[in-house]
Chains A and B, each alone.
Chain A
Amino acid sequence: MTSFPNDLRYTHDHEWLRAAGSAWRVGITQFAVDQLGDITLVDLPKEGDLVTKGQRFGTIESVKSVSDLYAPVSGKVTAVNGSLKDSPEQVNSEPYGAGWMIELEPTEQSELSELMPPDAYAQHVAAQ
C-alpha cells in the first residue's frame, strides 16, 4: 500500500496541501499520478487569480487523458510553478516536490479544517 507524506493535508480529488508561510502549496498525490500515467501538459492559473473551492483552476493532460484540477480551498494564487510549462514530467517524478503546482492564500480559513490527514486519505484511496 502506498503511504502518503505525514506533513501534508489531502482532498478527495487527490490533491495535497502543505503549509508555506501564510499560504498553502498545492499539488497532486502519487495515487493521482499513478492513475494518470505520463503527464504531458499542465495548465495553471496566473498569480493573483482568485479561485473558489471545488471550481476548476487548471487542467492536466496525460498521454491518455485530460483531467481538471479543482481548487482545494478558496483563495488567491500567490505563486505558480512555472517550470511545469517546459517540464511537466516533474509531476510524475516528484509529485510532492518539484512537481508542485500553485500556492494559495486561503480566504476561508474554515475550509482548511475539511482537508484530510494522511491516514484518512489513505483509507479514501484504499476504497477506490
Chain B
Amino acid sequence: MERKRTPLWQAHKQLGARLIDFGGWDMPVAYPAGTIKEHRAVREAVGLFDVSHMGEAVLRGPRVREAVERLTTNAVASAPAGKAVYTLLCRPDGGVVDDCIFYKRSDEEFFVIVNASNTAKDLDWFRDHTHSLCEIDDVSDRTALVAVQGPKAVELVDRLAGGDLAGLPSFGFTEAVVAGVECMAARTGYTGEDGFELACAADEAMALWTALIDNLPPGGLPIGLGARDTLRLESRLPLYGNDLDDDHTPLEAGLGWAVKLDREFIGAQALRDQKQRGLTRQLAGFTIAEDARAIARHGYAVVDRSLGTGEAAVIGTVTSGGPGICVGGSIGLAYVPVARAKPGTALTIDCRGKDTPATVVAGKFYKRTQP
C-alpha cells in the first residue's frame, strides 16, 4: 500500500532523510546527521520535527464542554481559554484509549491533537461517546504540525513571529503569524525541552518549515523519529502503544497527576475503585549500567530467578528501552509488581537470553537545567 506523505515529505527527501513506514506514513527516521547527533542538538541547541502525521480535530458547539468533560481524565473542560491540557482518554474499565492534548479555545470550541496511529480510533471514540453534544471536525488532512524544541527554540520562533511569543507560558497557546504563516503556537512538546509546537494549514507548511530551516542557529538540526523516541524516553514521557494501552490504566502508568478523580468521566469509577483497592503493578523507570553493555527493549521480560526452581518467573515486561544518549548506559520503562517499583530496587531483565541487571530509578532520566 502507498504510504501517506506529510506536506513536508519533499523537504525530507531533499535533506537526505532516511524514510521509513511509520503506521502507514512515510516518515523521516533520521537525517544524515544521525539519531545521536540529532538527540544532542535538541538538548544543546534546537531541533525541528515534522509531526504532521499526528491527528487533529475540532470539537465545537454550545454543549461541547459537557462532551469534553465525559471524554477526558484531566480537568480539560474547566480550563481557562488559551490553555493546553495533557489528558488521557479512558475506556469504562480504565484502560487507555489514547493520550492527547486538548487546547481550549473558548467554552464552545476545543482543538485536540492525538497520536497518528490512533487518529481513526479516537475520532470514532469521540463520535460514539459525545452523543451529538458537539460537532466533531476531523482536520487531520488539512493540518500540518511542526515542533521546534531545545534551549534555542523559543528565541528562533519568537524572532520569526516578530517577538510575540517568548512570553507565552508553558502549556499556553495562541494564534500567531510565524514567518508569514498563520499558526496555532503552543508552548508544548515531547522532548523534555522548552519550545513550541506550531499547527498550520497543510498548504503553508513548506513555507514555515523552510523559514525555520533557513534561520536555524548554529547546532540546530532537523530531527527524525529515531531521536524523537530517545528524547521522549529520556524525559520519561510515555508513548501510546508501548507504555500505554488498553490493558493498563493511567494510575498504573504513573499518570495519576493527569487524572482528576473528583470528576465524572468515562472510566472514573473503575479508576476510583482501583485506587481504593491499591495498585498491583506499576510502570517503573530503570537504568542499566554502561558496563552491562545491553539495551532492554520493548517486550523483553523482567524475571525473578530467586524462586529456587531453576525456572525464571516472569514478573514484568519492558515497554520502552533505548540508549541513554545524554545520561549514559541504557534506560527504559517496565510494568513490574508494585513491591519491585521502588527506587533502588534491583531488577533482572532477560535481554535476548542474557540476564541483565537493572536498577529502578525515580522520575525523569534526564531533567533540563533551565526552567
- Interface class of chain B by DSSP: mixed
- Are the CB atoms of A63 and B323 closer together than 8 Å? yes
Q: Which bucket holds chain A's interface residue count?
A: 10 to 19
How many A-B pairs have beta carbons closer than 8 Å: the answer is 40
Report the bound CA distance from A61 to B297 in whole Å: 11
Stretch at the interface among B28-36, B90-98, B120-128, B149-157: B28-36
- Are the CB atoms of B295 and A38 closer together than 8 Å? no
CB distance from A75 to the nearest CB of B (A): 24
Report the bound CA distance from A85 to B226 in whole Å: 23
- Are the CB atoms of A37 and B293 closer together than 8 Å? no
Query: Which residue in A34, A37, A43 is a CB contact (below 8 Å) of B226?
Result: A37
Check: B342 CB closer than 8 A to any chain A CB: no
Report the bound CA distance from A38 to B230 in whole Å: 12
Q: Which A residues are CB-close (under 8 A) to B35?
A: 37-38, 63-64
Check: B322 CB closer than 8 A to any chain A CB: yes
**Provided the pairs A37-B226, A41-B293, A92-B34 are in contact, do residues A63 and B322 lie with their beta carbons within 8 angstroms?**
yes
CB distance from B298 to the nearest CB of A (A): 11
- Are the CB atoms of A40 and B18 closer together than 8 Å? no
Query: Which B residues from 309 to 344 make CB contacts under 8 A with A?
Result: 322-323, 325
Query: Which residue in B29, B30, B36, B297 is a CB contact (below 8 Å) of A66?
Result: B297
Check: B294 CB closer than 8 A to any chain A CB: yes
Check: B3 CB closer than 8 A to any chain A CB: no
Using a Cβ–Cβ cut-off of 8 Å, how many residues does chain B contribute to the interface with A?
A: 17
Query: Which B residues from 165 to 194 make CB contacts under 8 A with A?
Result: none
Check: A90 CB closer than 8 A to any chain B CB: no
Query: Which B residues from 292 to 306 make CB contacts under 8 A with A?
Result: 293-295, 297
Query: Which residue in B29, B226, B229, B295 is a CB contact (below 8 Å) of A61?
Result: B295
Give 15 A-B pairs besides A43-B293, A66-B295 with Cβ atoms closer than 8 angstroms.
A34-B18, A37-B18, A37-B29, A37-B30, A37-B226, A38-B35, A40-B36, A40-B295, A41-B295, A63-B35, A63-B230, A63-B322, A64-B35, A64-B322, A85-B293
Could you give 18 example pairs across A and B, Cβ below 8 Å? A37-B34, A37-B35, A37-B226, A38-B30, A38-B34, A38-B36, A40-B36, A40-B323, A61-B295, A63-B35, A63-B323, A63-B325, A64-B229, A66-B297, A66-B352, A85-B293, A89-B36, A92-B34
By a beta-carbon cutoff of 8 Å, the part of chain A in contact with chain B is: 34, 37-38, 40-41, 43, 59, 61, 63-64, 66, 85, 89, 92
Nearest 9 interchain pairs by C-beta: A63-B35, A38-B34, A38-B36, A40-B323, A38-B35, A61-B295, A37-B30, A64-B226, A41-B293
By a beta-carbon cutoff of 8 Å, the part of chain B in contact with chain A is: 18, 29-30, 34-36, 226, 229-230, 293-295, 297, 322-323, 325, 352
